[in-house]
Chain A
Amino acid sequence: MDIELKHIHKRFGAVHANNDISLKVSAGHIVAVLGENGAGKSTLMKILSGYQPADSGEIWLDGKSAGSYRTPQGAISAGIGMLQQDPLDIPAFTVLENFVYGQNTGFLFSPRKWRERLKSISARLGFELDSDQPIAHLSIGQRQQLEIVRLLSMGVRTLILDEPTTGISAEQKLVLFKALRELAMHDHMSILLVSHKLEDVIALCDSVVVLRGGQLVGKLQMPATTDELVRLMFGQELAPHAHECLINPKIAINLDNVTLKGKRVTVENFSMKIRSCEVIGLAGLEESGQDLILRACVGLIKATRGQITVNSSDMTGKSYRDFLAGNVAFGAAGRLEEGLIAGLTLTEHIALTTENKTLVDWARATLVTDHKIKQYNVRGRPDSPIETLSGGNQQRLLMALMPDNPVLMALEQPTRGLDVDSARWIWQQLLERRAHGTAILFSSPDLDELVTYSDRIFVAYAGRIVEIPDATQTNIDELGRLIGGNFEKESAL
């Protein structure tokens, strides 16, 4: 499907999120939309997929004006479907039920017919979906596959994908890319990819367009190198991070022979000592056990056996709030689900974490918020509701809410969904705290990030944990192999 956007404008208050964007995507092409956080990518994609209308401008599909659809259903019937970063499915439903919802099944629903249809589309794309599985048992990668199959079944001719490789395995990524190429080549679908992962863009796309400050600032035919893309996005190249080890003998946290039971995986008899000033990476596919370890370090999961010591006081069996009082900080992967509160302003967030008296001193809280906004370079006002901030700014605020010098920071995917620049900024902050003695424990699906920043890495696979004692001596290939469960070479080392 040929898509043409003509002079799209969208304003949010004072922010000109999309400023006169004109863009052409021809059928059969895979185009990456790049830009830093707040560049206007999401806004443009939401306009194209009907989640919000443009203030002005036109959308032409296959040489005809699409009129103005104002809802995602409208966009889907015009042939445009969007795959959200977090799949919008219903966890209580089965795969088949999710597949059919929104589709015109007629008054009498025939499960057999739809099961066949699900099967044939997924078989063609190389997806493995069991139609009777509940969604809750699926990985993010599989839920994404289901959503693609559903959109295709609804006759979508253009697919927009928002950060599709976040949180899926390397293998699922290969399957996804193969399917997308197949759809572009044989079905002449146009595909728009929004991603911060430049290696994905290089591996998949035919061309890229770059947004900066709401405007279209560049187009590039692939192949291109990462450096060229970065230059286009930021107008400059980024210096690589120099790894630096800090030695401090103080033990920040000690997990002694703990057993952690998760829903589907159990980590048994695991021991780990983290010293002050250390950066520890946790690698592994979803639900391999690394989340259990991370959450056990802050008391969100209780060990069924073993002992946990923080700063040489016994914290075994203590609650999250006790850990918090012990100066341990936690940051969850889903910012608006676990960490920030939609509907509360920045000041209210700051007051929640800083005001300890019975009466809240709102004047002081506003002052503190103003100060933190400057210190952490948050784009927002003290009275802005948190959900109006962009992802990068939410992450900055989350950082501002954490104590200044914690013993340990346990962070799930601290740079999830952030562009290169924002991710770097977050790490600067983290490393600064580490220089003051904080130990950092983080999980990440990004192998590059793990290798770049960790002193040591623990790799989880189905509850088994292997340690890489010196992260500078490993590389992405080795890490990738370990994550996939191939431990043999490691034990030979």
Chain B
Amino acid sequence: MNPPSNRTALTVGFALLPIIVSLVITAVLVLAVGSNPIDVLVAVAEGAFRNSNSFAGVVNFWIPLALCSIGLIVTFTAGLWNIGVEGQMIVGAVFASWAALFVDLPAPLLIPLEIVLAMIGGGLWAALVGFLKTRLGVHEIFGGVALNALANVWSIYLISGPWAPPTGGTAQATAPFKDSALLPPLSSEFPVSLLALILVAAALVIVTFALRGTRWGLQLKATGKNSKSALLLGVPTLQSAMTAFIVCGMLAGIGGAYRVLFTYASLRPLASGGIGFLALLVVLLVGLRPMFAVMIAFTFAVILGGSTRLKVALQLDQSLAGVLQGFIVLLVLLSNGLRQRFMPAAVEPPTPITATVEVQRIQPPV
């Protein structure tokens, strides 16, 4: 069929197409409200890149997004829709906040503890989704949505109740964390956590390798493509599903922790900020390749981070970025359909929504 280079070009093309078309549509909308799309573009670019501080804002948005995207590639490989990734971020944030608020240790000990706790929290929350799915037959989308809501309510309860700041509990945030609990920035000009960057790089390398080179990765793939056959070939499909959830949850947990330990410096309601959902979109866009996911995540971070400048520069609402994002969602789905038509059997988009891990034992054919 096509030589590999041609195929790669097509893959990249189909990934970029929805973004470009969405930009065009958004440009038309901008014209309709009487502004110049070029000005908007300049404002967004300024918002993202005008100085090292604004660029740091983009990177800080990108870090948790990249972590969640890498995690979701694991669950998508296993044929699972881990929509509970938001909740897993929140629980990771809550676990890390507990250490930040109540554990008195020097920073070199406290920070690793916070990260490990975040991984445990996110992993546990994801394991719950997995348990509901593999043992009780609750579809992971329903379980995930329910647990997202629970995680959110739980964090709000903590903020307004037991963890409320001593003066004037407004349910806005806990008391600011002490300095030793916060991830140190690289510099005041470029406030980004080096540790977090290292964690993203490590996650990228480990997940890429684990999916390609390990038996676990192969078993995940087999489970995702056909869990019945995988089971008959001797793959422990339930364990595959469970471990995929836990790995994703741990990465999402770190993402959540980053939000509270760096971006906010306190626990806030909905600490995840929709980043988990955005990560789902990123993975839908690129299929199952971690490197691409990280790159697309960065593009999103630029657009969303840069759009904060719109209000200042053009008196346009920041939600224009949301509009753009909405169009991208629609057009990604459209483009996936086109990709299937023009690149049959090519690198597949993530498993469709019907993919499930068999919960029941296999019955004889009816």
Q: Which residues of chain A have a CB within 8 Å of any CB of chain B?
A: 136, 262-263, 287, 291-292, 295, 300-302, 320-321, 324, 330, 332-334, 336-344, 348-349, 351-353, 355-360, 362, 385, 401
Contacts and interface: CB of A to CB of B under 8 A. Distances in A.
B366 A287 contact: yes
A334 B362 CA distance: 13
Closest 10 CB pairs of A and B: A291-B364, A341-B226, A343-B225, A341-B229, A341-B225, A338-B228, A324-B234, A352-B233, A341-B222, A339-B229
Given A352-B219, A356-B215, A360-B218, A337 B228 contact: yes
B348 interface: yes
Given A385-B345, A401-B233, A355 B215 contact: yes
Contact of B213 (A321, A337, A348, A359): A359
B219 A334 contact: no
Contact of B232 (A136, A287, A320, A348): A320
A359 B215 contact: yes
Nearest to A319: B361
B354 interface: no
Given A356-B215, A359-B215, A360-B214, A342 B364 contact: no
Main secondary structure of the interface of A (DSSP, over half): loop
Contacts of A341: 222, 225-226, 229-230, 233
B366 A263 contact: yes
B236 interface: yes
A291 B216 CA distance: 32
Given A320-B232, A343-B226, 14 more contacts: A262-B364, A292-B364, A301-B363, A333-B365, A337-B228, A339-B233, A348-B221, A351-B215, A352-B230, A358-B215, A359-B214, A360-B215, A362-B213, A385-B345
Contacts of A351: 215, 218
Nearest to A298: B232
A362 B215 CA distance: 10
B94 interface: no
29 contacts: A136-B366, A262-B363, A263-B363, A287-B364, A291-B364, A291-B365, A301-B363, A301-B364, A320-B232, A332-B232, A338-B229, A338-B232, A341-B226, A341-B233, A344-B221, A348-B218, A348-B222, A349-B233, A351-B218, A352-B219, A353-B234, A355-B215, A355-B218, A356-B215, A360-B213, A360-B217, A360-B218, A362-B213, A401-B233
Interface residues on B, range: 20 to 34
A325 to B, nearest CB: 9
A340 B232 CA distance: 9
A339 B227 CA distance: 10
A454 B214 CA distance: 42
Which of B230, B362, B364 is packed against the most chain A CB atoms within 10 Å?
A: B364
Contacts of A330: 232
B96 interface: no
A333 B228 CA distance: 13
Contacts of B234: 321, 324, 352-353
Contacts of B215: 351, 355-360
Q: Which of A263, A321, A342, A344 has the most CB of B within 10 A?
A: A344
A359 B215 CA distance: 6
B200 interface: no
Contacts of A358: 214-216
A485 B213 CA distance: 54
A320 B229 CA distance: 12
A342 B233 CA distance: 13
Contacts of A337: 226, 228-229
A286 to B, nearest CB: 8
B231 interface: yes
B235 interface: yes
Contacts of A362: 213
